[in-house]
Amino acid sequence: MKKIFSLTGAVAFNSFMESVRNRFFTLFAVFAFAAIYASVLAGVMAVDQEARVLTDFGLALMELVALAYALFSASSVLLREAETKTIYLVFSRPVPRSAYLAGKLAGSLMTSALMLAVMGLMHLLLLKFRGFGVPPGYAWALSGSLLKLAVITSFAFFVSLFSTSAVSTLVISGVFWTAGHFVTETRFLAESSGGAVAAALKAAIWIIPNLQLFNARDAAGASCALGPAAFFSAAAWVAGSYLAAVWLISGKEF
């Protein structure tokens, strides 16, 4: 068991360092900083609500930038490792496929966490520069974004094992992300319609993860704290995707 953890840690660290060295990672950081700075314009337009606009714009942008990188990374990493034959080298050693996949997923999540932390720091510095303090519930908003990223990244890993290209994985995961924010509306529609439509909508509610559960940045004040249910659901959905991915990867010939 200890050996499995050690192997998983090694793969995770390697995957994390590979992401950090990736040129795309630097570009995203530069882009995020430039775009957050551009939000100053929107802040000026809001006059006395500048702090709120800067906060909302920055948090939304950070999440989207981290999402773009996480999806790009998750959809291409396994395909790239198969193309470069790296995966054959790994599996020629006594590395269980479950540990390899767990390591890749953990590396990707560590990268997302680092991205959010770096962008969050830039954002807070920008707010401080404009004369504002740390917005209430800021850490919860970032935690919620990380939980969302964990759910969607693990799902993208699962999809990448049966989709034909990185693009199709990106599209499927992107649609899933969008649908995940519509679960509340889907629930309302299911309750207000009947017959086959209601049944289909109810099925969708069970299949699609409710990402609004983690959307602390859209809540206000004390209500933005994430409850234990949010952490449990995120862990369950990540575990579900991971186990399904392990099932798929264990049937593949490498």
- Which residues here bind other proteins, judged by CB under 8 A? 42, 45-50, 52-53, 56-57, 60, 64, 148, 178, 181-185, 187-189, 192, 205-207, 209-213, 215, 217-221, 223, 227, 229-230, 232-237, 239-244, 246-247, 250
Q: For residues 176 and 240, is the Cβ–Cβ distance under 8 A?
A: no
Q: What is the DSSP string of 133-163?
A: -PPTTHHHHHHHHHHHHHHHHHHHHHHHTTS
Distance, CA of 20 to CA of 14 (rounded, Å): 10
Q: How far is the CB of 21 from other proteins (least distance, A)?
A: 30
State which residue, 56 or 81, has the beta carbon closest to other proteins. Answer: 56
| Amino acid letter for position 190 | A
Q: How far is the CB of 13 from other proteins (least distance, A)?
A: 26
Q: How far is the CB of 181 from other proteins (least distance, A)?
A: 4
Q: Give the N- to C-terminal CA distance of the chain in Å, as an integer.
A: 24
State which residue, 3 or 130, has the beta carbon closest to other proteins. Answer: 130
| Amino acid letter for position 101 | L
Q: How far is the CB of 163 from other proteins (least distance, A)?
A: 17
Q: Hey, is 92 helix, strand or coil? A: coil
Q: How far is the CB of 138 from other proteins (least distance, A)?
A: 13
Read off the tokens for 134. Answer: 């740390």
Of 141, 147, 149, 106, whose CA–CA distance to 120 is shortest? Answer: 141
Q: How far is the CB of 219 from other proteins (least distance, A)?
A: 7
Neighbouring residues of 43: CB distance < 8 A, sequence distance ≥ 6: 50, 51, 53, 54, 57, 130
Q: For residues 56 and 2, is the Cβ–Cβ distance under 8 A?
A: no
State which residue, 69 or 242, has the beta carbon closest to other proteins. Answer: 242
Q: How far is the CB of 17 from other proteins (least distance, A)?
A: 29
| Enclosing H/E stretch for 25 | helix 23-45
State which residue, 7 or 150, has the beta carbon closest to other proteins. Answer: 150
Count the neighbouring beta carbons within 10 Å of the beta carbon of residue 167.
11
State which residue, 168 or 186, has the beta carbon closest to other proteins. Answer: 186
State which residue, 113 or 211, has the beta carbon closest to other proteins. Answer: 211
Q: For residues 111 and 186, is the Cβ–Cβ distance under 8 A?
A: no
State which residue, 6 or 49, has the beta carbon closest to other proteins. Answer: 49
